[in-house]
Structures are given as C-alpha cells and as structure tokens.
Structure 1
Amino acid sequence: MGDESKPVDGEVNDNKYLTKTAAADAEVTFEHQNAPPETRLYKKRWIIVFLFSSYSLCNSYQWIQYGIINNIFMRFYGVDSFTIDWMSMIYMLTYIPLIFPVSWLLDKKGLRVIALVAAALNCTGTWIKVASARPDLFPVTFMGQFTCSVAQVFILGMPSRIASVWFGSKEVSTACSIGVFGNQLGIAIGFLVPPILVPNVDDLDELAAHIRVMFYITAGVATFLFVLVVIVFQERPEIPPTHAQAAARRISPESYSYTGSILRLLRNKAFILLVITYGLNVGCFYAVSTLLNRMIIEHYPGEEVNAGRIGLTIVIAGMVGSLICGIWLDRSKTYKQTTLAVYLMSLVGLVLYAFTLDLGHLWVVFITAGTLGFFMTGYLPLGFEFAVELTYPESEGTSSGLLNCSAQVFGIIFTICQGKIMDSFNTLAGNLFLCAFLLIGTIITACIKSDLRRQLANQQALAAAALGRSDVQDHSGTSLHPSTHM
C-alpha cells in the first residue's frame, strides 16, 4: 500500500494540483456545452439582398411590359387582347408545375445555384426577345417570355430564404421587404418604361425599331446582372446570423425529407388558411395589373402613357407600404394583427378604385390607385414573413413556394374571369368581382391562429443560453470546488 503512493519517473503526484486541473477542465467542458451557438452579422448581407433585388427587378419588369401596352402589341403582332394577356399569365402558369421541383432544388443545392440558374434563364430570355422584333415573329417573342417566366420560378421563393440565412432576428422582415422591393420596383418600371420607349405610332417599321430598342436595353441589363451574380453571390455566411438559423444548420441533410416537409405544411391549418388568403390577395393584384391598360383605355382613350403611370403609382406606393410593414414587423412582431389590418385596407382600396375609375378625372384615379397599391402590394412581404413564423423550422423556400403557387392559380383565374366580365359588362363589375374575394380573404385571415414558431425558437435559445450561464456559475461555486464549503 505504501509503495502505491510513490510517484514513478515523470509522474506528478500532487493531489491538490490534480483536483484543481480536473475542476477547471470540467468547468470549461460544462460551459462549452451550455454556451449559446456563435452568431454574427456580415456586411455582405446587404450586397447579397440588393443583388437579388436587382435581378428580380429585371425579371418582373418583363412580366408586365407587354400588358401595359396591350393595344400596341395587338396591332404589331396581329393578335387579340386575350393573347397578349397570356404574355403576363404565362408567368403565373409556368410557376404552378415548376415550383415543387425548384423548391426541392433550393433545399438540396442552396441559394447560389438557384441564383445562377435564375439569372442565366432571365438573360437568355431577353436575348431571344431581341430576335423577335418583327410582326411575323410572335412565337419567338412568346418563347422569350416563357424562358423569363421559368426564371421567375427560381426567384419568387428566395426573399424569405435570403432573409433567414443572412440576417439577424431583428431585421429579417426588413430584409424580406427589400427582397420583395426589387420585384415590385421591376413591375413599376414595367408600367412606366414601355409606354415611353414604344409610342403608339402607325408605321410598323418605326414601331419595330422602338420595340427592338426596348428589348436591347433589357438584354444588356440582364447580361450585366448575370455576370455580377456569377462573381458576387454567395451561398451563406460562414457563421449563422441567429440562434434559429444555427439550429437549422444542425439538422442533418439526410434526416430532411422534402415530401415530409410538404406533408407537414399541408397539415398546418394556420398555414393552409394563409395560403388561401395570400392567393386571393395577390391574385387580385395580378388581375388588376394585367388588365390595367384595358381598364384605363376604356374610360380614357389614348392615355397609354398615363395608364403606365397609374401602374407605377400602384407599385411605388406598394413599395413604400412594404418597407413600412417590414420595419414595423421587426419592431412589433405583430404578424397577424398587421396582416389583417393591411388585408382589410386592401379591400377598402379596391372598392375606392372601382367606384372612382369612371368619374372622368385621372387625378382621382391616381390617388385611389395609389391607396390600393400601398396596401395590396405592401401585403406581399407580410405573407412571406407570417408564413415563415407559422412553419418554422420548415424550409422558407417550400412555404414561400406554396404561397406563390396559390397566388399564380388565383391570378390566372381572376385575370380570365375579370377580363370576361369586363367584356360582357363593364370595368366596375369586374372590379367588384375581385372585391368579393378580398372580403372572403379578410374574414379567413381573422381566423388564422398566430403561432409564431420562429420567434419562440429564438426566445427559447436565448433563455436556454442565459440559464446555461447561470448554471455554470452556480455549478462552479458548488460541485466543482467542494472544498470551499468544507
């Protein structure tokens, strides 16, 4: 027994030293296990979201560039108004079958791959259109528009994903609003620029020259943005920005099932109600935007340029509404209350617009259209962010995809139905048709349960981190150093 207490060569037999070393090691290990995950915000996040907004702008601009000068393209290509309406509706139709494979690709390959494909397709579509500026080449211009519509599928689901992957919990709604902002600004430019670049002239050769200039400008911008995406766009920051994102990164890719995610979302009652209401609201916006030229020209003949300006007013007001709503959500976290209030005001705005359109005063139409746009277009980022809250930790791309799919379905239905109602009756009847569905959407929105799962995850992570630090302090004062209490 006595020999066991003697140290051998190279061995330290200081019991006091061993006790302190073990205690220190145990304390470091315990504290490391209970420490919150490291988070960091990178300045590059602003470059990423603004670059995304830029190529989203270029794509959404082309959505409405035919519809806002519907009567001019009808004469140039020798087709009817319903055919030109399809130049906008093809964006909606393409989205429906492609959103699910694209959402799966976003989950599997990440943001950079999706961004590269989107920018490449958009660039390709613009150059196809450059070759279509002849009256006998309508199928070519339709092919170009179809290619751009495929690019849109890779774009619409990205704002909420970029916001979650790159931004802090106090700025995700603002970042999502900026992402949507680009799409809205593109629509605004699509309303404003085509009537200016393509005047309603009688000579078809002169008209072809104007159309060709418009297409070349778009192609040049799209090519520049594609090069920027290749050089600049990054998948994700090295260190996650939030505890919720850190937790999401710890989920093993092998354990993730896209089909399982879809099924879980379809069983989420609050989310399904939001999908319906989002589709109703945004579908109405798509219908109003697509048919705006026809509505204005019917009451104010020869006012193609002002029709574009009214469309611009709708979207610019909506961009302001989007940013205000995003900032408000980041500060208040009142997702359901804000969504419901904006939805109700969208209904009020459409009623005002419907009943003032035929008064004979364009300045009144500008005011009521701006009011409509502030709330109806401002609703877009609200729907995205509310969906992410209701569905966390499911993929933001999947939830956004389902929202947008609903919007495209309702957009096609509403555009066709409103167009037929306008042909058979008048613009007032067509707009009241949309008002009825906005009323239904407002009622359904009031029934959505406000289950803010992402906020809860961040709060729990912070609480657990605080509790862990407290436990470490208490533990270090008792268990690890029992001699202090002897």
Structure 2
Amino acid sequence: MENSLETKMDLPATKFYKKRWIILLIYVLYSAANSFQWMEYSIIANIVMRFYDVDASDVDWTSIIYMLIYPIIVIPVSYFIEKKGLRFAALCGGLGTALAAFIKVFSVKRGLFYLVLLGQGIGSTAQVFVLSLPSKIAAVWFKPEEVSTACALAVFGTQIGFALGFVVPSSLVKNHDDLNLVAWDLKKLCWIITIYMIPVGISVIFFFSKQPRIPPTLAQWEERHKRKLNFSKYLKHFSSLFSNHGFVCHTIAYGINIGVFAAIGTLLNQFILEYFPNSEEDAGRIGLIMVLGGICGSVVFGVVLDKTHKYKETTVFVYCGAVISLIGAMFSLLSESKLLVYIVFGIVGVFTNAYMPVGYELAVEITYPADESTTTGILNATTQAFGVIITIFLGKFNSRFGAFWSLGSQAALLLLGAVLTCFVPNKKLRQEKFFQEKIARNELQILKENEK
C-alpha cells in the first residue's frame, strides 16, 4: 500500500497554458498563406499563359508540384519533425512559405517563369512541414478534451487559404490587353502575400515555442522521456505502421476522400460550364462555397469528436454523407437550377473537405503512441498521390462521358472508401491513455484528502 501510495504521489504534474491559443493562431495564419499559393497561378491559367508565353501544361505544374513533392520527402521530414519538434517544423514551414512568396515578387517579367516554378517548389516543400502539424500541435499543447477541436481549428487555416486561392487571384489579376497592366496586377498579388507573411514570419521566430514547459497530459510527459530514434530505427517504426491493417484501410479511405475533393475542385469549371454555359464566375463561387462548407463542417465535427469521442462512428457518418451528397450533385446539374447546384455542392464540401480533421484524429487514435506528425504525414502523402491519379483519370473520363457520369464515378470511389472505413477497428488508444491518467489523478486527489 505504501509503495502504491508513493507511486501515485510521484505522478508528474501537468499544466495548461493560455499560450496554446497563440501557437494555434500563428499556425493558422502561415498555413493559410501556404495553401493560398498552391492555387495562385492555376486559377488564372489563361492570363499566366499569355503573360509568360507558356503552355497550359507549364501552368499546371505550378499546382502539380505541390502534390508531387509531398510523397517524395515526407519520410525525412516526418523524422526531423519527430526528432526536432514543433518549433523546427514551424520555422521550416512558416519561413519557407514567406521565402516562396518573396521570390515570386521578382518573377513578374516575361522570361522569368522559372522563378515562378522555383517559388512554387519552395512553397510545396514548406507545405510538407505545414500539413504534418495539426494533430501534433493539438497533442503537445492542448487538454485531452480539446485535442479534436484544436486539430479542426488548425486545419481551418489550410482550408481558408485554399478558399481565398479560388477568388483573390481572379479578382485581383485582370486579363488586360496591355501586358504591362497584367504585370502590375501580378506584382500586387505577389507583394500582398509577401507583406502579409512579414509579421507572421516574425511571430514564428519569436513566439512559436517547441513545447510548453510543463506538458498538458501524462502521455506528453512520457513522450518527452521516450528514447529518441535514429533514422534507421525511425524507418522501421515508420514501416511498422503499415502492418497495422486498420491504419492501412483508413489511409486508403482517407486518400480516396480528399483525392476526390481535389479532383472535383480542379475540374469544377468544366462540370459547371457543361450545363451552364458562360458561368465561369459561378464555377469559382461554387468552389469557394465547397471550401467554406468544409470549414464549417471541420469545426462542427471537431467539437463532436471532443464531446463524444466516437471517432469511427463520426468518420463513417461523414463518409456516407459525402457519398449521398455527391450523388445529389450529379442530379442537381440536371435540374437547370444554379441555386440548387450551389446548395448541393456546398454540402459536398461539408462532407469531403471536413473529413480532414476527422481522418487525422481517427488515425492518431488507432496508431497511438505513434508520433502524430508521422501518421499525418502518411495520410497526406497518400492524399497527394491519389489526388494526382484521380485528377488525371477524371479529366479523361469527363472528356469522354461528361460531367454527370464523371461525378458518378467519384461517388462510386467514395462508396469504396466508406466500405473500407467500416473495416477500421474501433480503437481509442489515445483516449484510453487519457482515461487512465484521469483515474490516476482522481485517486491521487482522494489519497491526499485522506491524508489530511
């Protein structure tokens, strides 16, 4: 009894810092700038082609490079994030995003398209550090009952940047006859994001800490005292995740869901114009509404996860919602009602784009105590690979069969993902750790009160 009491009395202290919200805000600000640059040129492809005198395929590479670099470098990046921590990742992601924007300020001249690609290459490299952090920030800084909400809010930055990437470039850069005016618009676009990143970059340098002085949970206390891996051991640890059959099923399902969203967003203009000619602006607005719907869904489902801890159930619900809403989108195009198309595609965004934080959190639960940045990195790498494959397939399928059956093919893919999700075990390994910690602290409190 005495040994048991002594063990409980030695339970490590935990603490919650208000600074966690500042850390989260800084991340949201620079992640938004990074995802904004992903769509910066492809959304105004016709203007970029004319100004730089390049082909459409050249402009496509400003976006494709974001999807190709991620799976190539995700393993070493995940290793360094686990070894060096949050501050290292934030410096690479935030300052890399700022550098990408700064380089493109000097690219606004005919013949300098290679500088555009250089800037996009740096931005896409920084993105690997950016997208690996939502679950890790939530775990390192936040209370157990806040982690899912914090993860959803972190993903908010990426989503809002993506949304702005649909509308800001096309609103700011006009297709003037005079190329000098086009150059002026492009330079304004580049300077706006560069100036925006100056205070954000300074915030990363001076305010983004590696971790709180006292961890918020016992799980994080144990993480700090865990023996650090060298790279060879990390590779074994990384590959061991693929022996977790539930995680493999979830990874494929996650890649399908977000890959379908990316493919539909890329070809949305073609889908809308097939049924509503001369509606280019409507296509852009529908894309914006899809992303905004995803932002709302992310926050709602993040709160639901924190309140209920029903990770698998929520994931299956979101996936089924994506299948049903996409089938609805197919038939909304036949209705000849733009309002209905807006509404239904917005619902598609709620259930596809909002899947990001839900998928992150389920992955962390079924792989705990694996590092959050590693599991998130694997999910994102799969997403980028699937995004490229599905987009190429969908483009060819659409040119042959049209928008209705193209969306039908994506609904079938989502149905496959929903079935795969049903095979994911309903494990809550991280929540079990939190629960054990709560019991231990309650017992400690009772022992202290009895001693009095």
Q: Distance in 2 between matches of 1:435 and 1:70?
A: 28
- 1:21 match: none
- Asked if residue 364 in structure 1 is aligned to residue 340 in structure 2, the reply is yes
Match of 2:24 among 28, 49, 61: 49
Cα distance per residue 1:344-367 (max 9 Å; x no partner): 111122222233236544322211
- Asked if residue 225 in structure 1 is aligned to residue 194 in structure 2, the reply is no
Match of 2:122 among 133, 147, 170: 147
- 1:61 match: 36
- Asked if residue 354 in structure 1 is aligned to residue 330 in structure 2, the reply is yes
Could you tell me whether the CA contact under 8 Å between 1:191 and 1:308 is conserved in 2? yes
Could you tell me whether the CA contact under 8 Å between 1:41 and 1:241 is conserved in 2? yes
Q: Distance in 2 between matches of 1:145 and 1:170?
A: 38
Structure 2 CA distance for partners of 1:324 and 1:457, relative to 1, 3 Å: same
Q: Distance in 2 between matches of 1:64 and 1:410?
A: 18
Could you tell me whether the CA contact under 8 Å between 2:269 and 2:284 is conserved in 1? yes
TM-score normalised over the length of structure 2: 0.93
Provide the secondary structure at the position in 1 that maps to 2:425: coil
Cα distance per residue 1:15-51 (max 9 Å; x no partner): xxxxxxxxxxx96x86442133211110000000111
Could you tell me whether the CA contact under 8 Å between 2:83 and 2:229 is conserved in 1? no
Q: Distance in 1 between matches of 2:397 and 2:86?
A: 42
Provide the secondary structure at the position in 2 that maps to 1:65: coil
Cα distance per residue 1:74-132 (max 9 Å; x no partner): 33334444443332221110101111100000011111011111112111111222222
Q: Distance in 1 between matches of 2:48 and 2:340?
A: 28
- Asked if residue 308 in structure 1 is aligned to residue 300 in structure 2, the reply is no
- Alpha-carbon distance, 1:291 to partner: 2.4
Name the stretch that deviates more: 386-395 or 432-441: 432-441
Q: Distance in 2 between matches of 1:59 and 1:172?
A: 23
Q: Distance in 2 between matches of 1:133 and 1:304?
A: 26
Cα distance per residue 1:206-259 (max 9 Å; x no partner): 222212211111111123211111111111101111122222223222599312
Name the stretch that deviates more: 333-342 or 351-360: 351-360
Q: Distance in 2 between matches of 1:84 and 1:431?
A: 25
Structure 2 CA distance for partners of 1:202 and 1:245, relative to 1, 3 Å: same
Counterpart amino acid of 1:97? I
Could you tell me whether the CA contact under 8 Å between 1:58 and 1:222 is conserved in 2? yes
Q: Distance in 2 between matches of 1:355 and 1:131?
A: 46
Provide the secondary structure at the position in 2 that maps to 1:252: coil
Bigger-Rg structure (1/2): 1
Q: Distance in 1 between matches of 2:26 and 2:422?
A: 36
Q: Distance in 2 between matches of 1:139 and 1:235?
A: 35
- Asked if residue 275 in structure 1 is aligned to residue 251 in structure 2, the reply is yes
Could you tell me whether the CA contact under 8 Å between 1:67 and 1:291 is conserved in 2? no
Counterpart amino acid of 2:394? Q
Could you tell me whether the CA contact under 8 Å between 1:192 and 1:305 is conserved in 2? no
Residues 16-415 of structure 1 mapped to structure 2, 5 A cutoff: 31-35=5-9, 36-253=11-228, 257-357=233-333, 359-415=335-391
Could you tell me whether the CA contact under 8 Å between 1:34 and 1:469 is conserved in 2? no
Q: Distance in 2 between matches of 1:352 and 1:76?
A: 39
- Alpha-carbon distance, 1:203 to partner: 3.0
Q: Distance in 2 between matches of 1:142 and 1:360?
A: 40
Q: Distance in 1 between matches of 2:38 and 2:21?
A: 26
Q: Distance in 2 between matches of 1:473 and 1:124?
A: 56
Cα distance per residue 1:361-387 (max 9 Å; x no partner): 432221111111111111110000011
Name the stretch that deviates more: 394-403 or 301-310: 301-310
- CA RMSD, aligned part only? 2.3
Counterpart amino acid of 2:432? L
Counterpart amino acid of 2:295? M
Structure 2 CA distance for partners of 1:147 and 1:343, relative to 1, 3 Å: same
Could you tell me whether the CA contact under 8 Å between 2:49 and 2:56 is conserved in 1? yes
Could you tell me whether the CA contact under 8 Å between 1:68 and 1:292 is conserved in 2? no
Q: Distance in 1 between matches of 2:331 and 2:83?
A: 49
- 1:416 match: 392
Q: Distance in 2 between matches of 1:393 and 1:134?
A: 50
- Alpha-carbon distance, 1:300 to partner: 4.1
Could you tell me whether the CA contact under 8 Å between 2:79 and 2:234 is conserved in 1? yes
Counterpart amino acid of 1:235? K
Counterpart amino acid of 2:435? Q
Could you tell me whether the CA contact under 8 Å between 1:70 and 1:293 is conserved in 2? no
Could you tell me whether the CA contact under 8 Å between 2:66 and 2:124 is conserved in 1? yes
TM-score normalised over the length of structure 1: 0.87
- Alpha-carbon distance, 1:260 to partner: 3.0
Structure 2 CA distance for partners of 1:198 and 1:359, relative to 1, 3 Å: farther
Structure 2 CA distance for partners of 1:436 and 1:135, relative to 1, 3 Å: farther
Cα distance per residue 1:270-308 (max 9 Å; x no partner): 111110000000111111222233433454454443332
Could you tell me whether the CA contact under 8 Å between 1:166 and 1:237 is conserved in 2? yes
Could you tell me whether the CA contact under 8 Å between 2:104 and 2:119 is conserved in 1? yes
- 1:427 match: 403
Q: Distance in 2 between matches of 1:71 and 1:351?
A: 31
Mark the runs of 5 or more structure 1 residues left unpaired by the alignment. Answer: 1-25, 478-486
Structure 2 CA distance for partners of 1:448 and 1:409, relative to 1, 3 Å: same
Identity across matched positions, percent: 40
Structure 2 CA distance for partners of 1:74 and 1:431, relative to 1, 3 Å: farther
Q: Distance in 2 between matches of 1:307 and 1:293?
A: 5
- 1:480 match: none
Q: Distance in 1 between matches of 2:106 and 2:278?
A: 29
Could you tell me whether the CA contact under 8 Å between 1:68 and 1:290 is conserved in 2? no
- Alpha-carbon distance, 1:66 to partner: 2.1
